[in-house]
Amino acid sequence: MAEPHDLTALEQAAAVARGEFSSVDLVRHHLDRVDALGDTVGAFVTVTPERALAAARAADAVPATERGPLHGVPTAIKDLTLTAGVRTTFGSAAFADFVPPVDADVVRLMAAAGLVSLGKTTTSELGCSLYSEGLVAPPARNPWDLAYTAGGSSGGAAAAVATGLVPVAQGSDGGGSLRIPAALCGLVGYKPSRGLVSSGPLGFGAFGLPTNGPLGRTVADVAALLDAMAVPVPGEPYLPPPRPDGGYLGVARR
């Protein structure tokens, strides 16, 4: 039988649904990998094991009829993205101790879909460069060759997914910040059209050019995570493109 981290995100969720693993099992397995390998590849700024295990226990208690396709699966949130009660540094020593009081909409929506965050992934300072090296965490390194960068500004997310620390991760992209790390690390990174994934509660910058998006090892996993993220939120300034029949995962499977 494959190790849990060798499975795609959708396969991990299916294994949870069949009772082969619990979400707690998956989270513990991936936290052990983060502990062993996270600093080597510079994937995480902040790891939140207690929160993750509590969220996994809550995920395991949800009735099967109320679970989505990624329910119980470990993930991670980019350190540019507000996460209530969790240190969020924006990749900058100036915000080394900042703890937001609220979640970004994308964090709330991923949690509502049953995904379990293990912590915050390394980014460039304020997301301004195409590598992920700063003063608040080890630099994000390419798992295929540690002499090379994992890219940026979602480099920690790419390093985490490519190393099997999480199967999918949230990132953001204005000028390549998801797509470049994905290309360098052999992954799939998708920048959605503006308005598709909420940037609330802070709102959009640069006329909606930067957007939240998914990163994973397969197109299907990325499509499933996009379905979790792409939930309309009142007050968004840009109208999203029409949602396809069956969602993005349905399109990927067809």
Here the tokens at position 131 are 């590598």
Give the three-state DSSP class for 45: strand
Of 78, 117, 124, 154, which one is the catalytic site residue?
A: 78
Q: Quick check: 227 and 115 in contact, CB under 8 A? A: no
Of 92, 124, 132, 153, which one is the catalytic site residue?
A: 153
| 172 noted as active-site residue | no
Q: Quick check: 24 and 73 in contact, CB under 8 A? A: no
How far CA 16 is from CA of 27, 30, 214, in Å, comes to 11, 14, 21
CA atoms of 215 and 154, how far apart (whole Å):
9
| 22 noted as active-site residue | no
Of 23, 177, 198, 199, which one is the catalytic site residue?
A: 177
CA atoms of 14 and 44, how far apart (whole Å):
26
CA atoms of 73 and 96, how far apart (whole Å):
28
| 153 noted as active-site residue | yes
How far CA 228 is from CA of 11, 95, 114, 131, 214, in Å, comes to 16, 29, 9, 27, 10
How far CA 176 is from CA of 4, 169, 172, 237, in Å, comes to 30, 16, 9, 22
> What are the catalytic residues?
78, 153, 177
